[in-house]
Amino acid sequence: MASNQYEGLALRYLIAMVLAIIACAVLSQLWGIEGAAVSTLISDIVLIPFVLKHSLKLTHDTWAGFKKGIIEEATQVPVYFQRFYLAAMVNRKKKHDL
């Protein structure tokens, strides 16, 4: 794992956040809370490609490996919901039995 290679990323985040604050001030005056949300969304969308590219480089991963990991995790989402549902039903039954 690489270390001390985050300076470029931190600088881009700093610039993006300053621009997002300015955009938030302007857009919130025009569109209210929706304008603030839009400015945040835009800054995140602009940074995502660079962050992913830089992170994959630092971790010596590939786009294919990253995509495979995302797909593997996504296939587990129904299992997580099922566990959550079962736990909620058990808790509901315990409360009912009291």
pLDDT tens figures, 6-30:
667 788 888 888 988 999 999 999 9
pLDDT digits (tens, 9 = 90+) for 45-64: 988 888 888 889 888 999 99
Token look-up 């835009």 returns: 42
Among candidates 60, 58, 44, which has minimal Cα distance to 12?
44
Cα–Cα distance measured from residue 72 to residue 4, given in angstroms and rounded to the nearest whole number? 30
pTM above 0.75, yes or no: no
Domain boundaries, the chain: 1-61, 63-98
| 50 close to 16: Cβ distance less than 8 angstroms | no
